[in-house]
Structure 1
Amino acid sequence: MVLLIPNDFPRFRGGGVPVQQSSSSTSPTLLDRVREFDAAAWDRLTKLYGPIVYRWCRQAGLQDNDAADVSQEVFRAVAGGIGEFHREKPGGGFRAWLWTITRNKIRDHFRWLSRRPGGIGGSEANERLQNVPDRVIEELDPLGDFDTTGCVAHRALEFVRLEFEERTFQAFVRTTVGGQRSAEVALDLGMSVGAVCTAKWRVLRRLREELDGLI
């Protein structure tokens, strides 16, 4: 599933300033770069959260094609509202905001289905429409879903990996993910113990910066 930048994405920025086609922003956080309408940042955001939104849609009972279509609508709404999103608000985390948009788009989808000629109708449609959001909430806690957090962090790590030398990144992975001792990793990679600790700190700091406000 490919999530594209909406055709009207530039118009969401005041004055109709075009989307930046390269990542020229100096902001270390992905969220801030998206709010500056950086096209590369938008692409990264959809790759991080597109699969999550799609999974939420599938768990709501949508078929593959419908889930993909609703996901597109979700990110169109994100593009339109990202400038007004403020993570400092109570309950204003990005994931909570994204879940609210997704839930509303799922509801819209089932309302649309109930109005289609030859589609489900009457009490069956009403019952399905009313039960879907409740069932999704019961089955999924998007704000405390460890798997969701882990998936987003893993994808983000693959992005920031490109910003480091391979040895630096391997020092981080082997100590933080693999749980190896710094001395052992230092010996294997031909680094000092201090350099391994520094590598671990640098990659972890960059990952936290990138995901600030997103998980």
Structure 2
Amino acid sequence: MDRLSPAKARSRSASVDSGATSLTLIEQVQARDGEAWKRLVDLYAPLLRHWCRRWGVRSEDVDDVLQEVFRAVVVGLRGFRRDRESASFRGWLHGVARHKVLSLIRRGGSQAPGGTNFYERTLLLPDPATDDSDDEEGTLVGDLYQNALRLVRLEFEDRTWQAFWRATVEGEAPAAIAADLGVTPAAVRQAKSRVLRRLKDVLGESPRS
């Protein structure tokens, strides 16, 4: 956690802090960190279950699909790269899940969930680039970000977090926040940007700067 000296804490011109520098959750999982893996599963399992339900996977098959997806993540995550603005872990995971559901259907033949008609219909499962989210998915993605916020909270000095939260969640004007916290409005905007960047970075939603 970044700490400010008393002199800097009194300076209105000082930036709120220098920002977090720890590894992303994705990088920790790539490094075979067991606790990071558990956090990743906890974060993304609800969204995976939603995709399975949306694609018509039988409830008794959902756990098998999730097991296959996470097994594929273990094998393939080292190859995941965020070197394009459009690259995201969630989009990559969506593609892995789609592939595993199609594989389940093909293996099951007429015994696949929903029978042959389902098989034919699901051959064209939407891909991550065209699959529009629904209201439930929007809620789940919101929950995903809320849980990720809890993960990154302790990486930031308290004043940074207050500036971010009040500007982003409570919608207060930067000037009012700055006057209250004893920093400049530019520092408030910088704090907001840093926390949002870190949040997306942890979730694999954007390339690292």
Decide: shared fold, TM above 0.5: yes
1:139-187 CA-to-partner distances (Å, cap 9, x unmatched) read 9945888937645433321211132355542331110122111343356
Q: Which residue of 2 aligns with 1:170?
A: 162
Query: For the residues of structure 2 that align with 1:138 and 1:104, how far apart are their CA atoms?
Result: 9
Q: How does 1:58-97 map to 2 (within 5 A)?
A: 58-88=53-83, 93-97=88-92
Distance 1:91 1:211, change over 3 A: closer
Matching of residue 125 in structure 1 with residue 119 in structure 2: no
SS at match of 1:137: coil
Query: For the residues of structure 1 that align with 2:190 and 2:85, how far apart are their CA atoms?
Result: 35
Kept in 2, the 8 Å contact 1:30–1:210? The answer is yes
Identity percentage over the alignment?
38
For the aligned residue pairs, the C-alpha RMSD in angstroms reads: 3.7
Kept in 1, the 8 Å contact 2:25–2:203? The answer is yes
Please report the TM-score for the alignment, with normalisation by the length of structure 1.
0.65
Query: For the residues of structure 1 that align with 2:177 and 2:25, how far apart are their CA atoms?
Result: 30
Matching of residue 192 in structure 1 with residue 208 in structure 2: no
Matching of residue 52 in structure 1 with residue 55 in structure 2: no
Count of aligned pairs: 182
Q: How does 1:12-31 map to 2 (within 5 A)?
A: 28-31=23-26
SS at match of 2:126: helix
Q: Which runs of 5+ in 2 are unaligned?
A: 1-20
Relative contact order (alpha carbons < 8 A, sep ≥ 6): 1 or 2 greater? 2
Query: For the residues of structure 1 that align with 2:127 and 2:33, how far apart are their CA atoms?
Result: 36
SS at match of 2:95: helix
Kept in 1, the 8 Å contact 2:153–2:161? The answer is yes
Could you tell me how far 1:208 is from its partner in structure 2? 3.6
Distance 1:90 1:182, change over 3 A: closer
Q: Which residue of 2 aligns with 1:137?
A: 126
What letter is aligned with 1:127? Answer: N
Query: For the residues of structure 2 that align with 1:27 and 1:210, how far apart are their CA atoms?
Result: 10
